[in-house]
């Protein structure tokens, strides 16, 4: 959250406390009020051990980690959490949200074609299906939903967030984001809020929430976070990633060993995918202690 915390802290406390959400997760919009300095220090220590400190300092790496193992007491850690970066296919989750909002409103029918298209868009990152769904929802409609008071997943007060301003196809952008002029952008913290609101049941109604979460499960591309967490037992990921040239992004809601957390990483470097694969198990171990894993394997 960096400098935006000191500048906008008091105002954000008011803005993000204005709606009541699910009882078990409290006020989901106030996620950033649960900043945990100890968890952040541990995160930075692990990133430095991986040799990624310079990338963090240069704002080439952004990471958000949100422990929701105790739903009423989330713990938030971040580095460059409000730095907006080109995020390739990660913002397809915004198209997913837009589609489900329109389904909830009765403006779009969740028939087999739409269901299968959204599933391919998320699990296999199909550009054809992303473009199809973007046009079914409406290009500018997606960004209006992201900017709405209901979600504020793109908010100038926190340096932006999720944005989709171009089809996932050849052609020019139709609506670059107002602050950074990106066609497909994200911040780590706003992406984390998407997953937090999803888990809180505050994106759409309970039935549609279950369907949406299911589409994010069973990733069809095995790299980055999926690769990094492959040797951690009992891991279930609900995930969307993105890659284009030197930009690498990944995001996931992770359930494992009775713990639950959100992890988001954005990187600008040819080695960015390797960075995300390397940091994922380190962040996992901050939430799911290795001693717990060891004890669970002993069977005693």
Give pLDDT tens digits for 85-112.
999 999 999 999 999 999 999 999 999 9
Task: Enter the pTM of the model.
Answer: 0.88
- For residue 76, the cross-strand partners are 35, 66
Q: Which residue has the higher pLDDT, 296 or 156?
A: 156
Report the C-alpha gap between 185 and 45 in whole angstroms.
27
Which range among 12-16, 120-124, 247-251, 280-284 shows the weakest confidence by mean pLDDT? 12-16
How far is it, in rounded angstroms, from Cα 37 to Cα 158? 19
CA atoms of 282 and 274, how far apart (whole Å): 13
Strands 85-86 and 154-155: unpaired
Percent of residues, the chain, with pLDDT higher than 90: 83
What domains can be seen in the chain, in order of their start residue?
Answer: 2-288 (3.40.710.10)
What lies within 8 Å, CB to CB, of 43 at 6+ separation is 63, 65, 77, 78, 79, 283, 286
Sign for the CA dihedral angle at 34, 6, 45, 43 comes to positive
């Amino acid at each position: 959250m960096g400098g935006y915390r000191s500048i906008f802290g008091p105002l954000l406390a008011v803005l993000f406390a204005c709606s009541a959400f699910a009882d078990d997760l409290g006020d989901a919009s106030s996620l950033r009020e649960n900043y945990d300095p100890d968890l952040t220090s541990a995160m930075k220590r692990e990133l430095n051990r991986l040799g990624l400190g310079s990338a963090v300092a240069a704002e080439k790496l952004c990471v958000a980690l949100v422990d929701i193992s105790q739903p009423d007491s989330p713990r938030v850690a971040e580095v460059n959490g409000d730095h907006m970066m080109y995020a390739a296919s990660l913002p397809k989750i915004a198209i997913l949200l837009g589609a489900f909002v329109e389904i909830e409103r009765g403006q779009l029918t969740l028939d087999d074609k739409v269901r299968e298209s959204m599933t391919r868009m998320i699990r296999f990152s199909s550009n054809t299906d992303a473009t199809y769904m973007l046009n079914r929802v409406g290009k500018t409609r997606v960004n209006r939903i992201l900017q709405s008071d209901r979600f504020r997943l793109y908010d100038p007060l926190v340096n932006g967030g999720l944005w989709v301003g171009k089809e996932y196809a050849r052609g020019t952008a139709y609506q670059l984001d107002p602050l950074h002029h990106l066609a497909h952008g994200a911040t780590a913290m706003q992406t984390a809020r998407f997953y937090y609101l999803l888990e809180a049941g505050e994106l759409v109604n309970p039935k549609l929430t279950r369907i949406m979460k299911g589409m994010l499960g069973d990733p069809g591309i095995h790299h980055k976070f999926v690769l990094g967490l492959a040797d951690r037992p009992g891991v279930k990921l609900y995930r969307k990633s993105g890659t284009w040239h030197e930009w690498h992004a990944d995001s996931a809601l992770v359930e494992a060993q009775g713990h639950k957390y959100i992890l988001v990483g954005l990187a600008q470097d040819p080695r960015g995918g390797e960075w995300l694969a390397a940091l994922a198990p380190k962040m996992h171990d901050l939430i799911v202690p290795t001693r717990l894993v060891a004890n669970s394997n002993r069977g005693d």
